[in-house]
Amino acid sequence: MPIPTYEDLMLPFLKYISDGREYSFRDIVDSLAREFKITEEEKRELLPSGNQAVFDNRAGWGKTHLKKSGLLCYPKRGFSKITDKGLEVLRQNPDKIDNKYLMQFPEFAEFYKSSNNGKDKTGDVSRLSGTEKTPEETLEYLITDIENQLANELLEKIKSNSPEFFEKLVIDLLLKMGYGSSKHDILQNTGKSGDEGIDGIIKEDELGLSKIYIQAKRWQGTIGRPKIQEFVGAIDNKTHKGVFITTSCYSAEAREYADTKPSVILIDGKKLAKLMIKHNVGVTVKQAYEVKKIDEDFFTD
């Protein structure tokens, strides 16, 4: 069963606080989770940004819509309470409270109009309901789609360059991630690009208390277990760590073998591109958007 939409949560949300008492958001969310039989795994499902649980986000948007309609109020920070208008709505025993239903309330109609840049779309109620994701979810998934496309383009760019360029790229990425302090911390390069040994060794920290062995392969095909075994064999000290980075992917056997070696990390092409985007290696910011929320502390006496 999929996680209910924020519209699905509005009527149960209002019913839960129907006794007129003040309820914390956490108490309400936990009650809704029980009512909808949300599993622990579903509770842990996060938005793409990882900043909030999907279920919590949808409950929060449902609460906001009820508040904008005047069906509940916020008596104090983090708490909700039903209003007389909300009680009247429950007495009418609606089958569902969704955006179409809320359009009967002038406060909500004005809120919807203002959220659409002042354009009066109140007559077009067909587009108001049936959306599974909240606006915040939609934005995050759109950003994820853009980043996935960018990641594919990055990999194509990397593959079109030389093995030497790829090795330099890997070093730049590791430095941006906080390993070592400069390119001078690359202690060793054992041979020509593409050989079977160690491509380089980098300090894990600025003091060089620990070292990380690097293997960087700009490959097209799947990397199997033998290549990973060769890499592990080249790391002669159990206290040393290794990162095997490729533009392609690893076989299931290779990953299973690496899982038995806690000091060895495998990074495939997809993860490599994601890390480059996260740490701004090979990419620039085209446009930045900020999503803001109310600073409750500012309004606290």
HEC per residue, 80-122: EEECHHHHHHHHCCCCCCCHHHHCCCHHHHHHHHHCCCCCCCC
Average pLDDT of 164-188?
76
User: Is 143's pLDDT higher than 90?
Assistant: no
How far is it, in rounded angstroms, from Cα 172 to Cα 273?
13
pTM of the predicted protein model: 0.64
Residue 243 makes CB contacts below 8 A (sequence gap 6+) with 174, 212, 213, 214, 215, 264, 265, 267
147-278 carries CATH number 3.40.1350.10? yes
Quick one: pLDDT band at residue 17, thresholds 50, 70, 90? very high
- Tens of pLDDT, residues 31-79: 999 999 999 999 999 988 888 899 999 999 999 999 999 999 999 888 9
Nearest to 215, CA basis, from 280, 261, 172, 166? 166
- Tens of pLDDT, residues 83-116: 999 999 999 999 999 999 999 999 999 887 766 5
The one-letter code for the residue type at 79 is: F
The reported pLDDT for the residue numbered 54 is 93
The reported pLDDT for the residue numbered 196 is 43
User: Is 125's pLDDT higher than 70?
Assistant: no
How far is it, in rounded angstroms, from Cα 95 to Cα 133?
21
Listed in order, the ranges of the chain carrying CATH 3.40.1350.10 are 147-278
User: Is 122's pLDDT higher than 50?
Assistant: no
Tokens representing residue 63 in the block: 């609460």
- Tens of pLDDT, residues 241-257: 899 999 999 999 999 99
Residue linked to tokens 């109310």: 294
Strands 211-217 and 222-223, sheet pairing: unpaired
- Tens of pLDDT, residues 200-228: 788 776 666 778 888 888 887 899 999 99
Coil/strand/helix, residue 244: strand
The reported pLDDT for the residue numbered 217 is 85
Contact (Cβ atoms closer than 8 angstroms) between residue 248 and residue 227:
no
The reported pLDDT for the residue numbered 193 is 47
Per this entry, what is the length of the chain? 301
E runs forming strands in the chain: 23-24, 72-73, 79-82, 186-188, 200-203, 211-217, 222-223, 241-246, 249-250, 264-267
- CATH class belonging to 6-132: mainly alpha
Listed in order, the ranges of the chain carrying CATH 1.10.10 are 6-132
How far is it, in rounded angstroms, from Cα 103 to Cα 108?
6
Contact (Cβ atoms closer than 8 angstroms) between residue 69 and residue 97:
no
Q: Which residue has the higher pLDDT, 24 or 132?
A: 24
How far is it, in rounded angstroms, from Cα 186 to Cα 214?
10
The reported pLDDT for the residue numbered 233 is 85
How many CB atoms lie under 10 A from the CB of residue 76?
A: 10
